[in-house]
Amino acid sequence: MADLLRKPFGNHGKVHEVTPQSAGWRYVGFSLYRLRSGEVATETTGDREVILVMVEGKAEFQAAGVDWGVLGDRMAVFEKTPPHCLYVPNGHDWKAVAKTDCIIAVCSAPGQGGHSARRIGPDGISLTARGKGTNTRYINNIAMENEDYCDSLLVTEVFTPAGHWSSYPSHRHDEDDFPRITYLEETYYHRLNPASGFGIQRVYTDDRRLDETMAVMDGDVVVVPRGHHPCGTPYGFEAYYLNVMAGPLRKWRFIPAPEVEWIMERDAK
């Protein structure tokens, strides 16, 4: 089995760390801190830009020589309110002091120094429906291509109702051939409500040389190096995931899987 499913390596402090080296790719990094009130996380961005996402709770931030104050007002992710986020360019330090128990996601990709540190959200982020029928899900776009906040990163949150599918119809973005398709590596940070539940994520290529189907639990991360990557949520459990994407071009262009192309054509009418 390909090493696509990453379990938390603890329940306190830094509990996830996906690097380009550990994932076997070039662009996307993802880590996650679970902090208790009063605890501190601090890092240097080096040659990478970072978006810090307050998944849950509140923390006080200093970054790029600026005191940003306390960020966060969503105490539980399934409140579905817009997140508080902070963009930190390459070549800077950041520090977070937890004001409550909190969860901080660290989304990273190569930085070119093209943007300054800034707050992102909650203003300007609104929960938006996408899809039809049991393909309906709800999106908080944090930094997609129409938001010119950063050099490489594409970041979004997705809430999937019980019994629905997401990242569907199945699609891939694993070739550098813009405008037909772009090459984007991707991570999924999964949450479930209730937390005792599970979801399903499949990652597969058209030739099936990669074809893995995983039961994802609350707090798991899935890395998607290539191929199609749909997610399903059983009846009785709603799902959340935080997506991080990056590649040589900050554009999201994809190609549907052949077996579902007719669905996209029908739904576009």
Per-residue pLDDT of 43-71, as tens digits, reads 999 999 999 999 999 999 999 999 999 99
- CATH number, domain with residue 144: 2.60.120.10
Model confidence at 1: pLDDT above 60:
no
- Domain span including residue 140: 5-267
Predicted local distance difference test score (pLDDT) of residue 264: 86
Predicted local distance difference test score (pLDDT) of residue 2: 67
Predicted local distance difference test score (pLDDT) of residue 266: 85
Q: Total structural domains in the chain?
A: 1
Predicted local distance difference test score (pLDDT) of residue 9: 95
Gap between the Cα atoms of 62 and 60, Å rounded: 7
| Residue (of 191, 192, 183, 230) closest to 211 by Cα position | 230
Predicted local distance difference test score (pLDDT) of residue 269: 63
